[in-house]
Amino acid sequence: MGERKFSVSSSPHIRHEETVPKIMWTVFAVLALITVFGGLRVFCRDAAGNFYPWPIFVVVISVATAIGVEALILAIRKKPVKRALDGSAAVTGILFAMVISPAVPWYVVFFGALVAVAVGKQLFGGLGYNIWNPALVGRAFALMAWSAPMTRYWPDIFAGTPYPATDATVTNALSAATPLTAAKMGKPAAVSISDLFWGNVSGSLGETCAFLLLVGGIVMIILKYIDWRVPVVYIATAVILCMLIPYGGNAKPAEWIKNMPWYEEMAFWAFSGGLFLGAFFMATDMVTTPITAKGRVIFALGCGILTAVIRKLGGYPEGVCYSILIMNTCVPLIDRFVKPRRFGTVTFYTPPQTAQAASKSK
């Protein structure tokens, strides 16, 4: 017998140095930097310079709960518990902390992170099998279970009161409206485009600095951890439609948003709310987005359309969370219709006997 020229093995046949832990911990590091320098620098101090560490506790509680719940469920499932340290649970935890108010009570953070990992991820089999973005599943649950603290406890960075928020303190300085709420309900907004870009606004930790989110997103694109098409198409679609669609329902749009020059209004819709965080770090999730470039463009278009519709026509000032969750649900359908056809196959095939029977019937 001659020398063996090749070997047959199971896939994958092409291997790369990138690993799941490396990717996940890199994403976590980027998000941690954004959280520290973009959010905590604002929310941890009030106008008098007093330091309130509660936003730090929110992040720590969320990340620790996510990792702990993941380890517990893996142990119950008799899977390697060390998988809880692959970085995916930590990313879920910090993303959940970034999409809620940093003034909510501890139990909102704990149970929200628990649901994010247990229901949003492990219920479907763990990493790689989940249908929806786990952090957004946790946020949707927290918003339904504790609507008051999730929608009312927004710190006013210019006044400042002790954390965590309560119904007693929310009547003082913690009821500051976010820019999107102010625009929709006709409230005055003491913020500029520069404030939105650099993060000097009320909102969640993931809404506080568009600049750092943009830099973090560019880093992810350079590292090829995300597809640039998704954030570009998502942001562009949402911004354009927000400018074109008029407010509907019981909304009372503020005069200041109507009087903005077109370029300032464009920047307002782009930098306000969680659009940058959702576009760069949630809509680009490797598991819950389409596998083809064409499918990702369709996915991003859908996210942008739904975000604009919810913002302008719905009863909720922000639409990023639910738009991404809805489009996550559509991913299998998108993949079904846009996946490339295998070489040598035909789309429609009629067996010869069936064709002959059809011709005789005529």
State which amino acid sits at residue 8: V
DSSP 8-state class, residue 343: T
The DSSP annotation for 69-98 comes to: HHHHHHHHTT--GGGGGSSHHHHHHHHHHH
Output the tens digit of pLDDT for each of the chain's 362 residues.
566 666 666 666 666 677 888 999 999 999 998 888 766 665 655 555 566 677 888 899 999 999 999 999 999 999 999 999 999 999 999 999 999 888 788 999 999 999 999 999 999 988 889 999 999 999 999 999 988 778 765 555 444 444 555 555 544 433 456 788 778 777 776 678 888 888 777 777 877 788 889 999 999 999 999 999 999 999 999 999 999 988 877 767 777 888 888 888 899 999 988 899 999 999 999 899 999 999 999 999 999 999 999 999 887 888 899 999 999 999 999 999 888 776 666 655 556 665 556 566 65
Q: Is the dihedral of CA 5, 10, 12, 17 positive or negative?
A: negative
Around Cβ 54, how many Cβ atoms within 10 Å?
18
DSSP 8-state class, residue 124: G
Around Cβ 36, how many Cβ atoms within 10 Å?
15
Burial class (CB in 10 A: 0-12, 13-18, 19+), 41: middle
Burial class (CB in 10 A: 0-12, 13-18, 19+), 331: buried
Q: Which residues pair with 175 in a beta bridge?
A: 154
DSSP 8-state class, residue 126: S
